[in-house]
Amino acid sequence: MTLLLALACTPDETLTKGPPPPAHDSEQGQDSAREDSDPPFSYAGPAYEPCVSDAQCGAGSDCTTVPGFAGAYCAPPCDPDDYRGECDLDGSYGQTTCLDNGRCAQVCEADAEDCPESLECAQVDGVLLCAGEPFGQAGMYGTCSHPNVDGVDCPAESSCFGGEYINHDSGICLPWCDDGTCPTPPEGLESASPLCYEAGLEHPVCVLLCTPGVAVCPDEQECLDLGFTGICAPIGATSPI
């Protein structure tokens, strides 16, 4: 698999992720929704079911996550400013709610097994929702265990780059650089320069360039020699080019 160099990044801009948006009570407006013969959205397909792409979802639904959390599901749209119970889909899915991002989510109970596969009941701004685990456990440029997906290890707006690309079961949390800019490396890694690569994923990502035998890489990583330069990669990875 070829790793193509695209754009040099500037390390002066850091990607940040704010707290998840507040949820709205799904019971608000249900009565008015029943009285309205023309609901604002129509649905077809497996709402709230696990997915990996929009193509698996019915009309009107997108494959998305609760902001800040892992686990994608087919999320119908809703209007958080004029919520009329659209997420309930005629009461077929139990209690639901409309998030501020304009997507529906299922409400759950902490000890109840009422969430779709791949999702867990999580606290989201004071409301228990089927949202999976929080993003960001591995940290920016950290070692992750879900290669080539936006896994639970990595912060939002980053991907776990690894797997067949570097012939290794794990990967690295690499931030997206759609605008060509990269976040500053973590403290203690200033000798590794971030660079924006078109790596074959959905988004271009920032890789930490290093000098083999000289630069310091994050924990559980080493400087993988590419011949003309090096990149920080999980220990035991092999060259992707």
**Tens digits of per-residue pLDDT, 92-133?**
778 899 999 999 999 998 766 788 777 888 888 889 999 877
Secondary structure E strands in the chain: 4-7, 23-24, 62-64, 73-75, 96-99, 104-106, 121-124, 127-130, 143-144, 158-163, 168-175, 193-198, 205-210, 221-225, 230-234
pLDDT tens-digit readout, 31-55? 443 344 454 566 777 888 888 778 8
pLDDT of amino acid 46: 85
Residue 206 has pLDDT above 90, yes or no: yes
Tokens linked to 115: 């969430």
Q: Contact 176/154 with Cβ under 8 angstroms? A: no
Measured in degrees and rounded to the nearest 5, phi and psi for residue 31 equal -60, -45
The mean pLDDT value for 6-13 works out to 35
Q: How much is the CA Rg of the chain, to the nearest whole Å? A: 21
Instruction: Report the percentage of the chain scoring pLDDT > 90.
Output: 18
Q: Contact 72/64 with Cβ under 8 angstroms? A: yes
Cα 31 to Cα 199: distance, rounded to the nearest angstrom: 50
| DSSP 8-state symbol, 22 | P
Cα 103 to Cα 32, 152, 158: the distances in Å are 19, 20, 21
Whether this prediction's pTM lies above 0.75 is answered by no
Residue 22 has pLDDT above 80, yes or no: no
